[in-house]
Amino acid sequence: MLKLHGSIDWYDRYYHDDIMAWYKDKGFYVPNRDPIFGPEPSVPSEPLSWGPTDEVGSRILPRVFRVPNHEQYFPIEGGLGAHVVPFILPPAYDKLLGNVPILDLWDSLHRTMVAFSSMVVIGYSIPPYDAYAYEALGRLFIDYQRGGDETYWGQRRVPIQLITLADSKQNALDSIPFLQPFKTRVWCQGFSTDSLKWVDWAGA
């Protein structure tokens, strides 16, 4: 799963490391009490990936870490976590500026396109002001629907599937103009256990 806007339980250590390096360079002694990245963390964290990633992830993996069960630790008492904010991007036209690590995920969108056997979009209508998503996902949808009936591995490729609260299939398709209607399935009753049962998982 590629979380293109980051996640509520991801945290970037870059600014922690940068300010601590600045203190050291200036000869200031400031106790490092960061609850996640300090020498005695009160909030446990883990890597985003546990396996090899080859050349992918060189920007995000050294910097961004996940806090499992993060709702158990926040808000942090005593004000120590006042500066700690999740690594998450707003759906704005300039959201990638200043968020270099996330480029690894955006650049990875098309790397394994020939192997995709299913694609499910949950609750996202691609608003026109979200230009990065509009371009990247638009290309992804077009390439997927042009890819034929089978993947590179001979696996059955199913239509793109939308899980949405749109009033009708046509309204859902109107909000994502890249989709070919006859290669798209739409569930208009919102995300639920039933919607997951409805999804055709292809080779799963």
The DSSP secondary structure of 34-76, one letter per residue, reads -TTTSSS-SS--EES-SS--TTTTTTTTTTEEE-TTGGGT-SP
pLDDT digits over 23-81, tens only? 999 999 989 989 999 999 989 999 887 766 666 667 788 889 999 998 888 777 655 66
Please indicate, yes or no, if residue 64 is contained in any of the structural domains.
yes
For 12, 33, 43, 86, 120, the CA distances from 75, given in Å and listed in that order, are 17, 15, 11, 12, 33
Task: Tell me the C-alpha distance between 98 and 42, whole Å.
Answer: 28
Give the tokens for residue 83.
């500066």
Q: Is 173 helix (H, G, I), strand (E, B) or coil?
A: helix
Please indicate, yes or no, if residue 204 is contained in any of the structural domains.
no
57 and 29 inside one domain: yes
Mean pLDDT throughout 139-151? 84
Please indicate, yes or no, if residue 81 is contained in any of the structural domains.
yes
For 12, 33, 38, 39, 129, the CA distances from 44, given in Å and listed in that order, are 14, 14, 11, 12, 36
Q: Is 87 helix (H, G, I), strand (E, B) or coil?
A: coil
For residue 127, name the pLDDT band (cuts at 50, 70, 90). Answer: low
**Residue 187: per-residue pLDDT:** 94
139 and 177 inside one domain: yes
117 and 71 inside one domain: no
Q: Which domain holds residue 36?
A: 1-94
Please state the pTM of the whole predicted model.
Answer: 0.65
Please indicate, yes or no, if residue 101 is contained in any of the structural domains.
no
58 and 25 inside one domain: yes
